[in-house]
Amino acid sequence: MAVRTITLTTEAYDSLASLKREGESFSELVRRLTGPRVLLTPFAGLWSGVPKTKIDEIRKFLKDSDRLSKGKLRRLARLDVEHGQSR
């Protein structure tokens, strides 16, 4: 397979590295980030019949889940710093 070498600033490298999934190569990451996008248009209106109370429940669940995920990421980052590792 042919390869190309590119130069990145440390900041750009760190940004890309933070997006990598476990076991994913940088080439796979770049292909994932630059690959075809899924159109959301076909999903427009699918939630129109859902009661507002249910929508509010879902929003709260997503917000709470996001908060928990960010907390876990902060804890993992702290552990990495304490043990001199990087992801």
Same domain, 56 and 86: yes
pLDDT in tens, the chain (87 residues): 899 999 999 999 999 999 999 999 999 999 999 998 888 889 889 989 999 999 999 999 888 888 888 888 888 778 776 666 655
| Alpha-carbon separation of residue 16 from 22, 27, 39, 41 (angstroms) | 13, 11, 24, 29
What is the number of domains present in the chain?
A: 2
Residue 30 covered by a domain: yes
CB 87 within 8 A of CB 14: no
CB 29 within 8 A of CB 19: yes
Q: Model pTM greater than 0.85?
A: no
Residue 38 to residue 47: CA distance in whole angstroms: 18
Residue 45 covered by a domain: no
DSSP alpha helix (H) spans, 1-87: 10-19, 26-34, 52-82
User: Can you give the residue range of the structural domain that contains 63?
Assistant: 50-87
